[in-house]
Amino acid sequence: MVNKLKVFKNFSIQNKYKNSILLIGNFDGLHTGHQKLFKLAEKYKKKYKLNIGVLTFDPVPKMFFNKKLKNFKISNSNQKLNYLKKYKIDFVIIKKFNRQFSKINYLTFIESFLFKKLKPKYIFVSNNFRFGNKREGNVKKLKSLGKNYNFKIINPKPLKKNKKIISSTLIRKLISKGKIKLANKYLGKNWSIEGEVKVGRKIGRKIGFPTCNIELNNYVIAKPGVYAVNILLKNNKKKFKGIANLGFRPTFNQKKLLLEVHIFNFSRNLYNKHLTIEFIDFIRKEKKFKNVRQLKKQINLDLKIAKK
């Protein structure tokens, strides 16, 4: 059963959500490392009869400070909220990260925001958590100040697989290298992107493989190539199977990066519809063909592999 989730845009929360368990972080992708943290928080919730809240930031601070940083997110804000609903989270604070907020020193953040407005009993953070102006605040300082402000810091050891710490950074690297199956394993679900179907040049339709064109926006860019995918229409639980090409379509001398999705045995018009594309496996890298006939031959081979 999906939990109801109260969403706040600032620190002025209702009294019933104060004195809670608070998890702070970006939680991009809500991977298995994050899930471990949430499961531990659930145990505290059950033991101490407390609400669980999440404090996260939009935009991601790293993207705020580096305006040139695009195509960074594993999941967008809508996906993040949907993932949080699957856990026993009672409320989430999505704090707008701007220049004014970035200049608040770490002591003011703890005293004026955490203590006075939220009054958390337990704060869950990762070991590399930094906060406040110039990132001067850290876990050690949080633990020290917790004694004064009556909260305890919980920062369990990070989840490791194959001697590697599971992190959003690691998963971004795997996605960019086309290692989708491993990325999905560490995510604990299929990596997916959401977007509206845009009208394209209809090249796919002309050569017998109609596609839906999806813009990538700020998602991390996977390795250009062909992928086996699942496709979900908004408010439709049924999954359709298909194949996707992410790239620049070198055979047609295109310059813009585009995700083109072909759904098996499907003929409905999906222009302006909202789709979720789940990446299942990498089939092959993108390449330029001498002519359309060679391209069509390769697509037929790709379709057989994807269907398997």
Tell me the CATH number at 110.
3.40.50.620
Same domain assignment for residues 22 and 134:
yes
What is the spatial distance between Cα 129 and Cα 80, in angstroms, rounded to a whole number? Answer: 19
- Could you read off the pLDDT of 135-160 as tens digits, one per residue? 898 999 999 998 889 999 999 999 99
**Is there a domain that residue 183 lies in?**
no
Lowest mean pLDDT among 67-76, 143-152, 194-203, 260-269: 194-203
Higher pLDDT, 44 or 287: 44
Same domain assignment for residues 152 and 194:
no
**Containing structural domain, residue 85:** 6-161
Confidence bin at 32 (pLDDT 50/70/90): very high
CB 31 within 8 A of CB 76: no
Across 31-38, average pLDDT: 95
Does the pLDDT at position 40 exceed 80? yes
- Could you read off the pLDDT of 251-270 as tens digits, one per residue? 555 667 889 999 998 888 88
What is the spatial distance between Cα 175 and Cα 173, in angstroms, rounded to a whole number? Answer: 5
**Is there a domain that residue 1 lies in?**
no
Predicted local confidence at residue 255, as pLDDT: 65
Predicted local confidence at residue 198, as pLDDT: 82
CA count, 13 A, side-chain hemisphere, 185: 9
**Is there a domain that residue 46 lies in?**
yes
Predicted local confidence at residue 295, as pLDDT: 84
> How many folded domains does the chain comprise?
2
- pTM of the predicted model as reported, rounded to 2 decimal places: 0.90
